[in-house]
Structure 1
Amino acid sequence: MYRKVVRPVLYRLGRGDAEVAHEQTLAGLRLLGRVPGTQRAGARLSGAAAASPRTVFGVRFPSPVGLAAGMDKNGVALRAWPALGFGFVEVGTVTAHPQPGNEKPRLFRLVEHEAVINRMGFNNLGSEALAARLAAYGDLGYPLGVSIGKSKVTPLEDAVEDYVTSLRRLYRYGDYFAVNVSSPNTPGLRSLQDAGHLRELLTALHTEAASMSVAGLAGKPILVKIAPDLTSSAIDELLQVCTDVGVAGIIATNTTVGRAGVESHPLAGETGGLSGRPLTETAAKTVAHIHAETGGALPIIGVGGILEPADAARLLDAGAGLVQVYTGLIYRGPGLVRRINRSLP
């Protein structure tokens, strides 16, 4: 039904503009979330109610299948996502300053390859606006992750304070925080994965988190989201920093700047990060490498190229404790989440 009826309609929205389809989908989900009983009924239908709950980095997840950052940047549809079967949601990436993101068009579907190229550029209303929205929601009833990034207007040398500002504003609302230093769509951002920059940033974030805990708020896990384009040695260096500083986990992976497998597509030359089926193999190998390198001591959220339950199972078998879906939702619809939930042991 989704592939034959719903997906073609979404693809025609905005005369093929992928971002218009995205926005209208969010608008529909926002309305759905206002219907009383939506979460409970949806959880039964989606298989989430029967999924195996698990505790990862100290947080209890009703299902290990989450919505990746980027889909609901400003948290407008948070009441609806559990109805689709998601056990947790990650909002953002959010920045200290509101920003429109990069010029449009900036989101492209490579349908034949079940892939997406995006160069959104952290378009969001800012961490202050997100904090106000989350305060209005109150208890969501499921774990919420918050992805934080650097504002484009902030010079790289001032990046630390930018991240700290967002963490401070949002600390009481998130169940965990993802430090996005791996998006390819903000100039210079990926340089923050370098050991020296990363150590300074993570140390400052942990110091801020400690001060918030002293102020009476419970401690919150801080994770780092990494790029799939790092070499094994670069990953190992990054993991050493994360271990030294006390990071709670790794999210592997973000989108790739590579174009392996889609080189012949007319849109392959568009700048931005590639996600979807071309990332399946790389994400699995990256998760396996991190798991082996840390001896399983550092929890992993696996994300990238999940379009079938077998893809999610592969990441979990490779060492991930949780998985996240985004592009797979675009191509396979909410039924994908249901099938993954029902496939879990």
Structure 2
Amino acid sequence: MPDWSYHPLKRLVLDKFRPKSSREFIHKSMSTIASIPGGRKFIGFLGHMKPPKEFQKEVNHTTFPSPIGLSGNIDPNLSGIKVFQELGFGFIEIGPIVLNEPNVQKEPRMENSHILFSVDLQEKIPLKRVLQKLTNQNIRIPIFARIDEQVNRHEWDIIVQHLTPFVDAFIGTSQQAYSCVDKTLQRPFYVSLSSDEINNTEIEKLVKHAGIGGIVVTAPRQTLDSYWHEASNANECLANRVKQVNEQHPELIVITCGGVETPEEACALDRAGADLLLLSEGYVKAGPGLPKRIHERLFYEKVQPIKKQNWAWSFLFGLSILIGGIIALYFAFTSIILPYDEYFIGLTRDDILQVNPLILSFMSHDRMALAGTMISGGILYIQLARHGIRNDMHWAKIAFHSAAIIGFIGIFLSIGYGYFDWLHGLFWLILLPIYYFSFREGKRITGAPYSIHGSNDKAWQYGLYGQLMFIILGFMIVVGGIVISTIGVSKVFVSTDLSFLCMSPQMLDRISDNLIPVIAHDRAGFGSALISVGLLVLMISLWGFRKGESWVWNTLATGALPAFIAGIGTHLFIGYTTFIHLRPVYFLVIVYLLGLVLSYPFLKMKG
């Protein structure tokens, strides 16, 4: 559930339910998607959240894909453990773990935008359920098991014995460290301390203990009745404590828990010297995209100057499509059908005009719409090449080539009704070697995105809704392209088409057996072009939204205009203005305008 869907759903629905119900709904829904074939790849497609390889690090002989982890407070029942590794986390904390199911457990509650956790009767998970959840889950990131502070030595031994094959480290109290941890423990043990408990005497004792792998410093808490939530100054206090520990004991591994609601707060802890960070309450407020945003903010601080990549062939590919669209638009406004069309149909342009002039108008409207879509596609490809591929953006390469391959496959749709347009075929034949060299130069594109944005400000919040609008736009264009292509290779016409023509398919067949195949190939070709352009809009919207990326706003603003102008203008030009027929286009225009307005402050904001 990316941020652009999480926040609208949270505001409209989830906040109206108990926190536990909302939490379980989200985690179980995502886990269900991750469980179906291709589900994890679908989640990856939506979020593109895999941590950059530059963040991989080794701590106590354990490799972490990212220093960002998730606290056990967020998923005490392990309902979402299948999916968190797909959301960019480098490790997961589970627990507190007890041997047997507690008789009484208090649910968290929400008050004044804070999640309140129980002080004494917090949610705990029994060992049996932990083992059930961890078995056959194909979890590829490290797991830290937090053992409840109230377990006795006998229970400790049972829990550790059963969990050692499944987890990479244990977390517990200093009392457990002294009474239970010895050289026989096969996993690192991290002592959990609140920020208020940090004092030099305690740290000195822990450092001398042979079985201690490091400490977990928990953000300061504010108590309300029998519940707690993170204090308002949690991040600042936590950063000071981490800095203090690092100055006195630089060899000690320090993990923080909580105190992070924004990417900038994560950077503050990283600068203070934290080795690993566990997200807690702030993750719920900021949304599932927080790990990705933290990676991009950290990467911004660490990234070297951008290595410019070759992009000439990719630019030429987009330019060729743009020029092809302009040529197609010229023919749509002038002769409409070409000599080889006349030869195949068996009628000249004048013959068709004498039978029914609306036939040529109808053919013109499909060809104009195709031309406008090609021009839009050309602009999108050019922008992706110029600003994405040139700047070594891996996501831009994936978007570019995915849409291009779909576009090449679309040529087969245009012959689905038995008519091969040799000019279309020649155009794709010219494009093929250009695309081949574009694909080759794209093999070197491996760079991860980065962003200066570090806050959860209003511009970012509005930007999420703008992003949602563009994602809807791209998705609807893809759906529309699939529908039009399907119609183009099957029944060809919808009812409003026949009403405009004032003719039935049978009447058109009596004019010429080959007239409908010519109309069908234009329609199918237009549909496949829509699918390709829709994918471009969708992937740019999914993966390209970052603070100050004005080129993304410019691309979406200018790239969609030719298709919309051609789509609506051609209908007005020929008089085909049936509201039901144009209703989907009007809806898309509204979504497009909303997307532009809502995303403008975020994408166009500098600094």
| TM norm. shorter chain > 0.5 | yes
Describe the SS at the equivalent of 1:89.
strand
**Matching residue of 2:530:** none
Check 1:33–1:132 CA distance in 2 against 1; reply closer, same or farther (3 A cut).
same
Task: Note if 1:287 corresponds to 2:289.
Answer: no
The AA in structure 2 aligned to 1:20 is: S
Check 1:172–1:340 CA distance in 2 against 1; reply closer, same or farther (3 A cut).
same
**Matching residue of 1:297:** 251
**Matching residue of 1:19:** 20
The AA in structure 1 aligned to 2:112 is: L
Check 1:144–1:40 CA distance in 2 against 1; reply closer, same or farther (3 A cut).
farther
Describe the SS at the equivalent of 2:295.
helix
CA distance in 2, matches of 1:60, 1:101: 37
CA distance in 2, matches of 1:169, 1:80: 23
Q: CA deviation at 1:72?
A: 2.0
Check 1:46–1:65 CA distance in 2 against 1; reply closer, same or farther (3 A cut).
farther
Task: Note if 1:229 corresponds to 2:205.
Answer: no
Q: CA deviation at 1:222?
A: 0.9
**Matching residue of 2:489:** none
CA distance in 1, matches of 2:12, 2:72: 24
Q: Would you say the 8 A contact 1:253–1:303 is kept in 2?
A: yes
**Matching residue of 1:107:** 109
Q: State the TM-score, normalized to the length of structure 2.
A: 0.45
Greater helix proportion: 2
Task: Note if 1:80 corresponds to 2:52.
Answer: no
**Matching residue of 1:251:** 216
The AA in structure 2 aligned to 1:68 is: S
Describe the SS at the equivalent of 1:33.
helix
CA distance in 1, matches of 2:135, 2:96: 18
Percent of aligned pairs with the same amino acid: 18
CA distance in 2, matches of 1:336, 1:298: 27
**Matching residue of 1:325:** 279
Q: What do residues 184-240 of structure 1 show as CA deviations (whole Å, max 9, x unaligned)?
A: xxxxxxxxx4xxx45533xx233551xxxxxxxxx311111111232x5xx323222
Listed as ranges, the matches of 1:1-345 within 5 Å are 1-2=4-5, 4-14=7-17, 17-40=18-41, 42-43=43-44, 45-51=47-53, 52-104=55-107, 106-111=108-113, 115-119=114-118, 121-137=121-137, 139-151=138-150, 159-179=152-172, 181=173, 193=174, 197-198=175-176, 200-201=178-179, 204-209=180-185, 219-230=186-197, 232=198, 235-246=199-210, 247-253=212-218, 256=221, 258=222, 269-275=224-230, 277-294=232-249, 296-344=250-298, 345=302
Q: CA deviation at 1:74?
A: 3.4
Q: CA deviation at 1:65?
A: 0.9
Q: What do residues 128-185 of structure 1 show as CA deviations (whole Å, max 9, x unaligned)?
A: 3312331232x4111111111134xx6xxxx333333321221111011111x3xxxx
Check 1:321–1:54 CA distance in 2 against 1; reply closer, same or farther (3 A cut).
same
CA distance in 2, matches of 1:172, 1:4: 38
Describe the SS at the equivalent of 2:166.
coil
Of the two, which has the highest radius of gyration?
A: 2
Q: CA deviation at 1:71?
A: 1.7
Aligned length: 292
Describe the SS at the equivalent of 1:73.
coil
Q: Would you say the 8 A contact 1:68–1:303 is kept in 2?
A: yes
Q: CA deviation at 1:327?
A: 1.3
Check 1:69–1:122 CA distance in 2 against 1; reply closer, same or farther (3 A cut).
same
CA distance in 1, matches of 2:109, 2:61: 35
CA distance in 1, matches of 2:176, 2:200: 13
Check 1:12–1:316 CA distance in 2 against 1; reply closer, same or farther (3 A cut).
closer
The AA in structure 2 aligned to 1:75 is: L
Q: Would you say the 8 A contact 1:250–1:299 is kept in 2?
A: yes
The AA in structure 1 aligned to 2:32 is: L
Describe the SS at the equivalent of 1:206.
coil
Greater strand proportion: 1
CA distance in 2, matches of 1:97, 1:236: 36
Check 1:109–1:140 CA distance in 2 against 1; reply closer, same or farther (3 A cut).
same
The AA in structure 2 aligned to 1:239 is: I
Check 1:58–1:39 CA distance in 2 against 1; reply closer, same or farther (3 A cut).
farther
The AA in structure 1 aligned to 2:50 is: A
Q: Would you say the 8 A contact 1:39–1:82 is kept in 2?
A: no
The AA in structure 1 aligned to 2:290 is: L
Structure with more relative contact order (C-alpha pairs < 8 Å, separation 6 or more): 1
CA distance in 2, matches of 1:223, 1:116: 26
CA distance in 1, matches of 2:38, 2:209: 42
Check 1:101–1:133 CA distance in 2 against 1; reply closer, same or farther (3 A cut).
same
CA distance in 1, matches of 2:26, 2:6: 15
Q: State the TM-score, normalized to the length of structure 1.
A: 0.76
Q: CA deviation at 1:307?
A: 1.1
Q: Would you say the 8 A contact 2:49–2:86 is kept in 1?
A: no
Check 1:97–1:19 CA distance in 2 against 1; reply closer, same or farther (3 A cut).
same
Q: CA deviation at 1:109?
A: 3.7
CA distance in 2, matches of 1:277, 1:170: 35
Which has the higher mean CA deviation after the structures are superposed, 49-58 or 244-253?
49-58
CA distance in 2, matches of 1:162, 1:255: 29
Q: CA deviation at 1:39?
A: 4.0
CA distance in 2, matches of 1:40, 1:80: 11
Check 1:289–1:36 CA distance in 2 against 1; reply closer, same or farther (3 A cut).
farther
Q: Would you say the 8 A contact 2:24–2:79 is kept in 1?
A: no
